[in-house]
């Protein structure tokens, strides 16, 4: 007997309260935007500038001990990660220590670097310091600009892809759902003041891909059913399509979430921000695929028969009250 999280056949009306869901989404987006304007993001070293110290030691890297040794120095944001490489021998253990710039300086001062090295030498007497590199505010500003461009280009590419594969109404619905997901993810990082670095940008791009995949699955079924059920109105076709793909959507989201929860609990501080962004993104991405993208498609209307040109394409169902 197979376990089912969703009944094999469902007939739920996802548009009975569509205005309420869209209103909640709009309110959350406003809150996220206001939070970003008022308190901004808690930028990590990637975006604020700082210094990276590469260490090598014959003994194993103890990230917790390294962090405890540096705690009395009150350096602010510190990231410590072990570097794994198949070419490293058993007696070569490498760590990367990243320290934020102090008091808006270009980099961590030489005196402070000496204090860091002394503190780490007490924990691991055989440690050596292979390199010290600094990232200044100018480079950090360029990274922020590049990150924003990367997200915008990804969303723009999605717009063109959906437009070519389906119709412009599908493209607008999908892109607005993606903007919804990205903005809410940035908003929760601003509201909770969780460290925001390049790993979170990678998570945002991954969320865009995940949410798009969910939306395209629903839209594919919508297009099939628009041809199959020519006599039914758009609202009913959308409900049928979402119900038919609901089991797949829930199972995909749940299995991905299980893996992410394990990584969040066991993965350590280095990837915790990335994993949290992914977990939140899956929640809002699944929600937006069902309640946002499809609701916008219902509001815009869509052409029913792609085999014949129609001067009124996209408008014949635009006045349906969800």
- Give the pLDDT confidence score for residue 307 in this predicted structure: 53
C-alpha closest to that of 166 among 207, 218, 205, 206: 218
Separation between Cα atoms, residue 221 and residue 227, nearest integer Å? 10
18-42+140-300 has which fold? Multidrug efflux transporter AcrB transmembrane fold (1.20.1640)
Give the tokens for residue 103: 């008091």
Give residue for tokens 């924003």. 148
- Give the pLDDT confidence score for residue 102 in this predicted structure: 65
Give the tokens for residue 209: 């891909």
Separation between Cα atoms, residue 242 and residue 322, nearest integer Å? 15
The rounded average pLDDT for each run of 10 residues, N- to C-terminus, in the chain (322 residues) is: 60 80 89 90 76 84 85 80 74 81 64 84 85 67 78 82 81 87 90 85 85 86 85 86 86 89 81 88 89 86 59 41 38
Separation between Cα atoms, residue 197 and residue 236, nearest integer Å? 43
- Give the pLDDT confidence score for residue 305 in this predicted structure: 58
Separation between Cα atoms, residue 73 and residue 51, nearest integer Å? 15
pTM for this prediction: 0.72
Domain boundaries, the chain: 18-42+140-300, 50-135
- Give the pLDDT confidence score for residue 27 in this predicted structure: 92
Other residues' Cβ atoms within 10 Å of the Cβ of residue 78: 18
- Give the pLDDT confidence score for residue 315 in this predicted structure: 41
- Give the pLDDT confidence score for residue 243 in this predicted structure: 87
For the domain 50-135, what is the CATH code? Answer: 3.30.70.2040
**CB-based contacts of 68: which residues, under 8 Å, 6+ apart?**
123
**CB-based contacts of 232: which residues, under 8 Å, 6+ apart?**
240
Residue pair 274/202 in contact (Cβ under 8 Å)? The answer is yes
Separation between Cα atoms, residue 49 and residue 140, nearest integer Å? 6
Distances (CA, A) of 55 to 58, 85, 87, 120, 190: 11, 14, 16, 10, 33
Distances (CA, A) of 305 to 124, 132, 162: 71, 63, 17
- Give the pLDDT confidence score for residue 169 in this predicted structure: 85
């Amino acid at each position: 007997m197979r376990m089912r999280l969703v009944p094999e056949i469902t007939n739920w009306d996802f548009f009975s309260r569509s205005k309420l869901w869209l209103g909640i989404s709009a309110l959350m987006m406003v809150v996220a935007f206001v939070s970003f304007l008022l308190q901004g993001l808690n930028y990590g070293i990637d975006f604020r500038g700082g210094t990276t110290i590469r260490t090598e030691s014959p003994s194993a890297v103890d990230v917790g001990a390294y962090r405890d040794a540096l705690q009395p120095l009150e350096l602010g944001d510190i990231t410590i990660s072990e570097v794994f490489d198949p070419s490293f021998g058993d007696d070569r253990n490498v760590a990367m220590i990243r320290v934020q710039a102090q008091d808006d300086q270009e980099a961590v001062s030489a005196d402070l670097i000496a204090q860091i090295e002394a503190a780490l030498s007490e924990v691991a007497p055989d440690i050596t310091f292979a390199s010290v590199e600094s990232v200044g505010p100018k480079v950090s500003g360029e990274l922020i600009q590049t990150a924003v461009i990367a997200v915008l280009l990804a969303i723009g590419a999605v717009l063109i892809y959906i437009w070519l594969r389906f119709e412009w109404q599908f493209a607008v619905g999908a892109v607005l759902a993606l903007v919804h997901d990205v903005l809410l993810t940035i908003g929760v990082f601003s509201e909770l003041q969780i460290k925001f670095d390049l790993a979170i940008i990678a998570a945002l791009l991954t969320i865009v891909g995940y949410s798009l995949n969910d939306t395209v699955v629903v839209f594919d079924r919508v297009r099939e059913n628009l041809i199959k059920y020519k006599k039914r109105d758009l609202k009913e076709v959308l409900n049928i399509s979402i119900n038919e793909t609901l089991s797949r959507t829930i199972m995909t989201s749940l299995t991905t979430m299980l893996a992410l929860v394990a990584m969040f609990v066991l993965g350590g501080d280095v990837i915790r921000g990335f994993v949290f962004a992914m977990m939140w993104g899956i929640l809002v991405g699944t929600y937006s695929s069902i309640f946002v993208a499809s609701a916008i498609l219902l509001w815009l209307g869509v052409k029913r028969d792609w085999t014949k040109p129609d001067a009124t394409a996209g408008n014949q169902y635009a006045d349906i009250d969800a």
